[in-house]
Amino acid sequence: MRILVLGGTVFLSRRIAEEARERGHEVTCLARGTSSSPPDGVSFVQADRDRPGTYSRVDQDWDVVIEVSWQPHQVGEALQALSARTGHWIYVSSCSVYADHSVPGAAESALLLNPYGGDAPASSESYGEVKVACEQLVEQDRGGRALVIRPGLICGPGDGSDRFGYWPARLARGGGVLVPAIQGAATQTIDLGDLAAWIISTAGRGLAGTFNTLGPSVGFGDLIHRTAARAGFDDVLRWVEPGWLTEHGVAYWAGPDSLPHWLLAGYDEFAARSAKAALAEGLPQRSVEETTDRVLDDELRRGLTRQRASGLTPATEERLLARLGEAESQ
């Protein structure tokens, strides 16, 4: 197949391009390429999608176009320029499009947020609404002739968000580890390799529709213990009540001084959605242990003490553990 990846230099889109190339497809990546380069063996068109004339350089027939942008103007312009000459269209959306994250087992038919309606480039604060708007653009142009996928948390080598990798890396460092006491909370993390493999395999058969693409459902406590075993952790896990963490400035989910997988109230079932439809179409789900091993290998290569986008810094964690000890001694 002749595949155009709108992206292809970073994380998921890069792994999609690699997967397609490894399967013998002819792959072209269109991206700015300012932060990273595309994989070897693919054609690269370096372009800024916010500049005019971007798509004239790829104005040809494509078997598949794979789009990952979350900016509606980019998604709409790509469809206008390329859709008529493309056999199959795949759009990578997000489970953030859903309006309600309190119902376990919710499927693709669940209520969505209202779409973003602005003309200017959107900010990350409107991420869910923006992804809804992008999905609608794809539906308006392609009708039922597109594949829309809605991942939750994605992890794997090269993840710049650190929303999963923080825990394998932190446990591998050893010492007392501050952990939110949310042992029963659900987690669903799909391995980057599984998601990319499914996208390319379904592209070959023109699968259409909307699918939640999620990893296996694992309780947070179980995830931490299984990750600790893979990381060789034999020290102390300090399970701390969420209220204490909030009072002491620890953030939810992601970002500086956060604890990944810890979710805001009202998002209790964000990681407990149904992936039955995608599983029935062959979505692979490797084990937590295999995914953790892959991520830990990458973390060891990149450095356990590197500066991170998410998680507690060593200084913050040390300070919090000291305060916790003081509180417990009173």
The DSSP result for 281-325, as a single string, is: TT-----HHHHHHHHHHHHHHH-TTS--SSB--HHHHHHHHHHHH
Q: Residue 150: CB partners within 8 Å, gap ≥ 6?
A: 93, 94, 95, 97, 108, 210, 211, 212, 213
Read off the pLDDT of residues 53-91 as tens digits, 9 standing for 90 and up.
899 999 999 999 999 999 999 999 999 999 999 999 999
Region 294-306 average pLDDT = 96
- Say if strands 186-191 and 217-219 run parallel, antiparallel, or are unpaired: antiparallel
pLDDT of residue 260: 97
Work out the widest C-alpha separation in the chain, in whole angstroms.
72
Q: What percent of the chain has pLDDT over 70?
A: 100
Read off the pLDDT of residues 84-118 as tens digits, 9 standing for 90 and up.
999 999 999 999 999 999 999 999 999 999 999 87
pLDDT of residue 265: 87
Q: How confident is the model at residue 42 (pLDDT cuts 50, 70, 90)?
A: very high
pLDDT of residue 81: 96
pLDDT of residue 293: 97
> Smallest Cα–Cα separation from 169: which of 306, 10, 30?
306
Domain ranges of the chain: 2-151, 166-189+217-272+286-329
For domain 2-151, give the fold: Rossmann fold (3.40.50)
3-state secondary structure at position 233: coil
pLDDT of residue 36: 85
pLDDT of residue 324: 92
What is the residue whose two structure tokens read 């609404």? 129
Read off the pLDDT of residues 139-184 as tens digits, 9 standing for 90 and up.
999 999 999 999 999 999 999 999 999 999 999 999 999 999 999 9
pLDDT of residue 329: 78
Strand order in the sheet with 43-46: 43-46, 26-31, 2-6, 62-67, 86-92, 146-151, 209-213
* Burial classification of residue 208, based on how many CB atoms lie within 10 Å of its CB (0-12 exposed, 13-18 middle, 19 or more buried): middle
pLDDT of residue 326: 85
Q: How confident is the model at residue 327 (pLDDT cuts 50, 70, 90)?
A: confident
Q: Residue 189: CB partners within 8 Å, gap ≥ 6?
A: 152, 153, 154, 155, 164, 215, 271, 291
Query: Would you say 185 and 150 are in contact if contact means Cβ atoms under 8 Å apart?
Result: no
The token pair that represents 47 in the structure block: 């372009």
Read off the pLDDT of residues 189-233 as tens digits, 9 standing for 90 and up.
999 999 999 999 999 999 999 999 999 999 999 999 999 999 999
Q: How far is CA 116 from the centre of its chain?
A: 21
Read off the pLDDT of residues 261-280 as tens digits, 9 standing for 90 and up.
999 988 989 999 999 999 99
Q: How confident is the model at residue 120 (pLDDT cuts 50, 70, 90)?
A: confident
Region 281-306 average pLDDT = 96
Assess whether pLDDT exceeds 90 at residue 325. Answer: no
pLDDT of residue 124: 83
Assess whether pLDDT exceeds 90 at residue 294. Answer: yes
Domain 166-189+217-272+286-329 of CATH type 2.60.120: no
